[in-house]
Structure 1
Amino acid sequence: FNIKKMCAKLIKEGKGLITVAKYMFMGLFITRYNWNIATCCQMHEEKAA
C-alpha cells in the first residue's frame, strides 16, 4: 500500500487536492490506529505472561 503512488494517481485523474489530502489524512489515521492496537496487544501479552 503506497500512499505516494495513490496520491499521484488521484492528481493525474484530476480529483483535486482536497481528495488527496483526505486520503493522506485517512492513511495516517489508520496507520496510527493500527499501531495503537499493536501496542495494546503487546502490553496485554506482557501482563499475561
Structure 2
Amino acid sequence: MLYYTVVFFVIALIAAFFGFSGIAAGAAEIAKILFFVFLVITIISILVGVFK
C-alpha cells in the first residue's frame, strides 16, 4: 500500500509541475486531487502499521 502512496505522490508532483508552469491549466486541479488522495492513503498506511 505504501508503494501506491509513492506512485500517487510522484504523479501529483508531475501534474503540479505542468499545471503551475502554465503548460496545462487542468493539471493543477488534478495535482490537488492527487495530493489529497496521497495524504489519505499515507494516513491509512501509518494507522495500519501502528495497529499491526
Fold agreement, TM-score > 0.5: yes
1:12-44: CA deviations, max 9, x gaps?
A: x3221x211100000000011010000001111
Count, aligned residues:
36
Corresponding residue to 1:21 among 7, 17, 29: 29
| Stretches of 4+ aligned residues off by more than 3 angstroms | none
**Alpha-carbon distance between aligned partners in 2 of 1:30 and 1:19, rounded to the nearest angstrom:** 16
Gaps of 5+ in 1: 45-49
CA RMSD in angstroms, aligned pairs only: 2.2
Relative contact order, higher structure (CA 8 A, sep 6+): 2
Q: How does the TM-score come out when normalised to structure 2?
A: 0.56
Flag structure 2 segments of 5+ consecutive residues without an equivalent.
1-12
TM-score by length of 1: 0.59
